[in-house]
Amino acid sequence: MRVLDKRVKLSRRGVLSAGSASLVVMTVASSGMIVGADCAWAAMAKAVKPESFATLVQMARDIYPHDRLADKYYAKVIEGLDGAAAKSEDDKKLLEGGVADLNKAAQAAHKTDYTAVGWEADRVALLKAMESSGFFQKIRGSLVTGIYNNPEVWPIFGYEGASAEEGGYISRGFDDINWLS
């Protein structure tokens, strides 16, 4: 049986760096490259504007907020959407139009763009107002598979992966549910 250390290990420096990494995304508009605030990830915007890409990454984090996940996992999903938008004008219009609508709602409510809205609860309220739109559903649907089917994030969540290749759960501790708590 595997024993997990469930104690929270936070330091002041860790809290400050995590907070700044999720709030600040530096964009380099001239090259189309988006670089995370902690420079731990970088992505090239192919179809959408770099500002739109950064907004989509923040939106992704607000839809499925996991403090233990780095922005690079969210950016990877958005990179896939951007790649599809490079091939389809309809997808590009959906993404750019959705970001424009999101920024318009943020301007009306908070006098600033979506990424500059400081409180997560305020950004979530903006998202709830548009959750029935095709834009929101496209992003949410891509995130479900893009994040939770990514084997790189499974250890972060404590998921050990599929068991069939290892002989099934009976051979691997089917009654060991310490990951559930």
The reported pLDDT for the residue numbered 72 is 93
Confidence of residue 38 (pLDDT cuts 50, 70, 90): very low
Burial of 117 (0-12, 13-18, 19+ CB in 10 A): buried
Query: What are the strands, taking DSSP E only, across the chain?
Result: 25-28, 33-36, 42-44
Mean pLDDT calculated for residue range 159-175: 72
Least confident of 61-75, 117-131, 133-147, 167-181: 167-181
The reported pLDDT for the residue numbered 46 is 80
pLDDT tens digits, one per residue of 103-128: 999 999 999 999 999 999 999 999 99
DSSP state, residue 171: T
CA 149 – CA 31 distance, rounded (Å): 31
HEC secondary structure over 125-159 = HHHHHCCCCHHHHHHHHHHHHHHHCCCCCHHHHCC
For all residues of the chain together, what is the average pLDDT?
Answer: 80
The reported pLDDT for the residue numbered 175 is 67
The reported pLDDT for the residue numbered 44 is 72
Burial of 31 (0-12, 13-18, 19+ CB in 10 A): exposed
CA 36 – CA 18 distance, rounded (Å): 11
Kind and range of the H or E element at 94? Answer: helix 89-110
The reported pLDDT for the residue numbered 6 is 53
The tokens 């559903």 sit on which residue?
137
* Cβ atoms 22, 74 nearer than 8 A: no
* Cβ atoms 57, 74 nearer than 8 A: yes
The reported pLDDT for the residue numbered 162 is 78
How crowded is the C-beta side of 155, counted as CA atoms within 13 Å? 1
Among 43, 79, 48, 77, which Cα is nearest to 63's?
Answer: 77
